[in-house]
Amino acid sequence: MRSNYTTNIENKRVISITGDESETFLNNIITNDVKKINSNNSIYSCLLSPQGKVISHFFISKIDNKFLIIVDDYLSDDLIEKLNFYKLRSQVDIKDENLYNVIFTTDENFKFNSILDFEDPRIPNFGKYFISKKNDNLGINLEDSEKYYKLINLNGLIDSIFNQIQGQYFSLELNMQELNAIDFSKGCYVGQENTARMSLKEKISKKLFRLNSESKLSSGEEIFFNKEIIGKIVSENPNFAMIKMLKFNEFNDKDLKTQDDIKVKISKPNWMN
């Protein structure tokens, strides 16, 4: 049983999208369907390259007629640039809103005077986010965000490592379907063609997994099972690897070794099929 805690995630930024065509604009470029958003529901989504590789990931909520994209700070400038690139003549206004706190809690009974709140749409019962204005007096006891990122890593989510893999992998390789970030019925969006083709033909040859090891691992190291290469480490601290899905059940719960003879084990999260 995990203990409850509440934190202000200071490295989150909020981007607002407003205008008569904002819903159509977003749906034409991101992987999920913004029509799912209401007062009780937010979504997780991605922006892909035209080839279908993930260049950004974020939550989207809505208040009144304003869409709010909640994204990691280091991704925000590039995301705004990409949104403006795709804007063309659309009747939308894209604004960097340096006005909000993003509060996260695992406490189901937590109460807070916020402008909106939503459950993490990726995993059931993971936690809840509250968006408040920065000039509001929070009046709550907050812990640092270290526990939040430990929870992120333990659940095999990409937040802590995305800066090491940005733009390198397809959304299905990063488990975005299992994390509810892709809507296959909403129509076209940037990178949709390759995403749909991989899904229909079941051509997902590798997927991202967290690794357990008692030793320090290095990005780029290959992983072996019975002298066969079955994956490669793609991030350090925390350690994640791209693992081949062929024969996955044969080595999923086995002790594996890196090319430097270090023992590792795949950590398959509960939310993964």
Query: Which are the contacts of 46, defined by CB distance < 8 A and separation ≥ 6?
Result: 30, 31, 32, 54, 55, 56, 57, 58, 171, 176, 181, 182
Q: What is the pLDDT of residue 54?
A: 99
* Nearest alpha carbon to residue 150 among 142, 141, 159, 137: 159
- For residue 107, the enclosing domain spans 6-165
| 149 and 211 together in one domain | no
Query: Which are the contacts of 185, defined by CB distance < 8 A and separation ≥ 6?
Result: 33
Q: CB 115: neighbour CB atoms within 10 A? A: 15
Alpha-carbon dihedral angle through residues 102, 58, 121, 151, given to the nearest 10 degrees: -70
| 213 and 159 together in one domain | no
| 129 and 70 together in one domain | yes
Q: Where residue 141 sits, what CATH number does that domain have?
A: 3.30.1360.120
| 26 and 122 together in one domain | yes
**What is the tens place of the pLDDT at every residue in 145-185?**
999 999 999 999 999 999 999 999 999 999 999 999 999 99
Q: How many domains does the chain have?
A: 2
Cα gap 84→78, rounded to integer Å: 10
Q: What is the pLDDT of residue 1?
A: 53
β-partners of residue 265 are 212
Give the CA distances from residue 261 to residues 205, 222, 264, in Å, rounded to whole numbers and listed in that order: 25, 10, 9
Q: What is the pLDDT of residue 200?
A: 81
| 99 and 214 together in one domain | no
Q: Is residue 58 part of a domain?
A: yes
Q: What is the pLDDT of residue 117?
A: 94
Last residue of a domain, one of 143, 165, 187: 165
Q: Is residue 195 part of a domain?
A: no
Can you list the pairs that 229-238 forms with residues at least 24 positions away whose Cβ atoms lie under 8 Å? 230/256, 231/206, 231/256, 233/258, 234/161, 234/164, 234/165, 234/168, 234/208, 235/161, 235/164, 235/165, 236/164, 238/153, 238/160, 238/161, 238/210
Q: What is the pLDDT of residue 136?
A: 63
Last residue of a domain, one of 113, 134, 165: 165
Q: What is the pLDDT of residue 44?
A: 99
| 102 and 152 together in one domain | yes
Q: What is the pLDDT of residue 42?
A: 98
Specify the pairing of strand 128-133 against strand 206-212. unpaired
For the CA atoms of the chain, what is the radius of gyration?
Answer: 19
Q: Is residue 77 part of a domain?
A: yes
Q: Is residue 225 part of a domain?
A: yes
Positions of the chain with pLDDT lower than 50, given as ranges: none
Q: Is residue 190 part of a domain?
A: no
